[in-house]
Amino acid sequence: ERKLLGLNEGDHQVFELEPEHAFGPRNPQLLQRVSRKMLSEHGGADTEYDPGDLVEFPTPDGQRFAGVLKEINEQWALFDFNHPLAGQRVRLEVQILGVL
């Protein structure tokens, strides 16, 4: 949002944001193993999972969060709970349509 301050109606800009100013750096602590038992309880015993699947999990307070399945075997599944764009530079192209 700071990049937009001072722009006027009709302005066109392209910005590149470093990870720390966009979705943050990748956090290795957000790579977590989940037991196959928990995965079956969450998704059902017949649900099949493949690496790359985005799986949602409930939190104790009723919210939901998602992780990308990275690996799976008979005992556990490894999920990446980082934002998909974490650790990446982000290029934004904006055109200001109006200023309130």
Residue with tokens 């934004």: 92
Q: For position 99, what pLDDT does the model report?
A: 87
Residue with tokens 């722009």: 7
20-64 pLDDT, tens digit each:
999 999 999 999 999 998 888 877 778 889 999 999 988 889 898
The DSSP bridge pattern shows strands 12-17 and 31-35 to be unpaired
Helices (H), 1-99: 36-43
Sign of CA dihedral 83, 84, 89, 91: negative
